[in-house]
Structure 1
Amino acid sequence: MIETNRARLCSQLVQSYDELVKQLTRRLGSSDFAHEALHEAFLRLDRVNDATPVRSPKDYIFCTAINIAKDHKKAGLRRLSAASVDVLLDLCDESPDPSRVAEARSEIEAFKRAMAQLPPRRREVLQRIAIEGRTAQEVATSLQVTTRTVETDLKHALTHCADSLSRKPVARLGGPRPRA
């Protein structure tokens, strides 16, 4: 009766198991890694066909285990280490927590109420300068008033909103700084 490659390889693995583990341990530097590679080599023996007979079953098993170990090491290089995963998990989530979101929404609503209490021109000045980012000169031209009137309206609007929000008024909102 002709023995198949798979049968010869399994028989050789059983006979030479301890010796193969020792050789693999020396080569791979880890007994656990040697056992793991040899176990996976055993699982791969099912894939061996009988088209070409295996001349040296022991060498074939050893080479298969070495190739498996190399593949595992390459795959390990592509994976993140446990320390790298911990670092990624510890990254700060910069999005605000729900309490801060609720607080910010509450302040926005309070600011809207404070703006609604302003006279129409002051509300328009505050909207255009503080929110839209226009200059006092642009706002003065569009409202057909002087720049001084716009600056005064802005000052009164900011003071009113700061008082409504229990905040300290902003002394100056942009523009060129006075020379020292």
Structure 2
Amino acid sequence: MTSVESKKKQIETLKACLLSVARDRDKQAFAQLFEHYVPLLRAYSLAREPGADLLADELAQDVMLKIWTKAHTYRPEISNVNTWIYTLARNCRIDYLRRNGRFSTEIDPTEIFETIEDEGPDPFMLAQQQRLETTVQESLSQLPPEQAEVLRKVYVEGKSHTEASQDLDLPLGTVKSRVRLALKKLEVMVRR
């Protein structure tokens, strides 16, 4: 069985689990979803804010709770199970930031962290990050040169689409299209 066939089978299994949770409130199916998605959701949260283990745990828990309570709203004909779950994760993260970003504190964070010694980065996270960076670099080299160039302008140099358009002397729509196409190709290559 090829890796593509394996991925398709895995997606079908996850979709069946989600539908079983929606239809029958199947706890074993939910346990399968939990086992598969919690590490991915934690990584999704950590990728956004390195070192935010508590945030990652809280967001993963919120997403799994939403999966349990909102499984009946999933429509397989509209979206892939991964898309649906990561949309929940994105929305939970936005809600968390809105909820927790409104309050200011009078505590000076430098006072707290002056007494804490840095233990250094987690070796597992470093290895995982290094592997991901290598995969992304290899995938970037496989993109058409014009798409790779636009991605480098936008994501490596940190330029806006408009600035990249001006730098490359391309229409803004072309830059946006190349970014979108390149990201889709990268996603497929990185997931292999």
TM-score bucket (shorter structure):
0.3 to 0.5
- Higher CA-based Rg: 1
> Which structure shows the higher helix fraction?
2
State TM-score, norm by structure 2.
Answer: 0.37
State TM-score, norm by structure 1.
Answer: 0.40
